[in-house]
Homo-oligomer: A and B are copies of this chain.
Amino acid sequence: MATNAAFAEIATLAGDPARAGMLHALMDGRALTASELAGAASITPQTASGHLSKLAAGGLLVVEKQGRHRYHRLASPAVARMLESIMQVAADQVSRRKPVVTGPRDRALRAARTCYDHLAGHLGVSLADSLIANKQIELTSDAGIVTARGVSLFDKLGIDYATRKPSSRARMLCRPCLDWSERRPHLAGALGAALCAHCLKSGWIRRIDGTRAVSVTTKGRGAFRDLFGIETV
């Protein structure tokens, strides 16, 4: 079967430690240069270049030329979802072997980070918990919906959660995404992306240098407390 070979090819591309590191670094949805990715994967630029051409040839990345820089980005949300799903399975195995190894440098990542286009980490899970507790969304392991209460909340915040809305406004769709550090679902999908964008735009959170981690601003601390009852550290 031809699909079988293609499957193995894609998985092999993701299977190399160096390439995995680069894909991991691109999971925040931004575009990075070959040198930045080389640093992220701890390899030389020329080795990274080879990997990147393979990833691009395999359709996992798209490349954007801009002067003497070449920006690399995940090719599609489908690729991001694939990486997420692999991380979930990997997280299962890790936690099964070791109780939990909280790296000191991972603290920021575990506290709050972006996951392609939405929020993850303790902050992401807390937000989802708050929305569920206040009956603004409902989540199962497979799917999620926004309730009428949720619709009014997001309207009030001015969050445009859908380009084309389904038939009923009370039935906005969203998607759960298992958090690899918290091991509980956070909010993904179109609504998760819109919420994350709103947090960034409003200055509630800020990206930390070149990582996926984000920090909560003073303004954000107040907003999360007032709107969602979340105390951020």
Contact = CB atoms under 8 A, between A and B. Distances in A.
Interface string A192-214: 00000000000000000000000
Q: How many copies of this chain sit in the oligomeric assembly?
A: 2
Contact of A91 (B3, B21, B96): B3
Interface in A61-108: 76-79, 81-82, 84-94, 96, 101, 103, 106
B189 A166 contact: no
Contacts of A12: 11-12, 15-16
Nearest to A2: B101
A174 B142 contact: yes
B190 A173 contact: no
A6 B93 contact: yes
A179 interface: no
Nearest to A79: B89
A114 to B, nearest CB: 16
A86 B11 contact: yes
29 contacts: A1-B24, A1-B103, A2-B101, A3-B90, A3-B91, A3-B94, A4-B21, A6-B90, A6-B94, A10-B90, A10-B93, A12-B16, A15-B15, A59-B92, A78-B85, A78-B89, A78-B92, A82-B82, A82-B86, A82-B89, A84-B85, A86-B86, A138-B171, A138-B173, A140-B166, A142-B174, A143-B143, A143-B189, A171-B171
